[in-house]
Amino acid sequence: AQSVAQPEDQVNVAEGNPLTVKCTYSVSGNPYLFWYVQYPNRGLQFLLKYITGDNLVKGSYGFEAEFNKSQTSFHLKKPSALVSDSALYFCAVRDINDMRFGAGTRLTVKP
Amino acid sequence: DTGVSQDPRHKITKRGQNVTFRCDPISEHNRLYWYRQTLGQGPEFLTYFQNEAQLEKSRLLSDRFSAERPKGSFSTLEIQRTEQGDSAMYLCASSLGQGQGSGNTIYFGEGSWLTVV
């Protein structure tokens, strides 16, 4: 079965600094990879996805992610973090009929 | 374009009572999903519908849980004889469906929080 792993429970970064939230995947066949963000007591909001094509995917709110096949990674990045980016981030992989999520990484951006 | 909507957003119920959640997907989406999320965890798949047909159920979906999508539009998730372990956020989501392993994005609602006391 397809799966993703998020090795960091928590990421702290200062406002204005670049941020990276890590994700690695394990799939058979071509991976369909996604990033979602969740604010407190809210549902998940779609940020971006990789299906095929360019390894660098651009998404909402200035986020981007880099697909790396050799390292089986799909890390989420942003050049300059905002305090409002503080939230829970989930990496996910499309399985046959549903989406499989990582455990989540809590991003805290400090002023 | 309205997104996925869920009702109620919050429900507190006593153990042993039945509860029902409703989900209205994005109108043109033929696939509808239910997930459960507990604190500190990622969402876990419960079940999904292709139009009105329920095509897959997770082993997490015990006999006390039942989901329906009678006309292929809105869906309900009912939990009978609730237990404290059922306390969680129940997320509904929808997508277009084009066969298995589709790269179509799944869009989530705001979730329905259930607290069983």
pLDDT tens-digit map of B51-80: 999 988 998 888 999 999 998 899 999 999
Residue-wise pLDDT for B74-109, tens only, equals 999 999 999 999 999 999 999 987 655 567 889 999
Between the alpha carbon of residue B87 and those of residues B49, B77, B115, the distances in Å are 23, 14, 5
Q: In Å, how far are A44, B8, B16, B80 from A37, measured between CA atoms?
A: 6, 22, 34, 31
**Per the structure block, which two tokens stand in for A30?**
């071509």
Cα–Cα nearest to B4, from B53, B99, B98, B75:
B75
- What DSSP string describes A22-58? --EEE-SSS--EEEEEE-TT--EEEEEEE-SS-SEEE
pLDDT tens by residue, B13-48: 999 999 999 999 999 899 999 999 998 889 999 999
Between residues 35 and 74 of chain A, which touch chain B (CB distance below 8 Å)? Answer: 36, 41-46, 49, 51-52
> Do the Cβ atoms of A98 and B45 come within 8 Å?
yes
Nearest one of B20, B23, B43, B38 to B94, comparing CA atoms: B23
Flag whether residue A3 sits within 8 Å of chain B, measured between CB atoms.
Answer: no
Q: Is the pLDDT of residue B1 over 60?
A: no
Model confidence pLDDT, tens digit, residues A36-71:
999 988 889 999 999 988 999 999 999 999 999 999
Whether residue B111 contacts residue B5, with contact meaning beta carbons closer than 8 Å, is answered with no
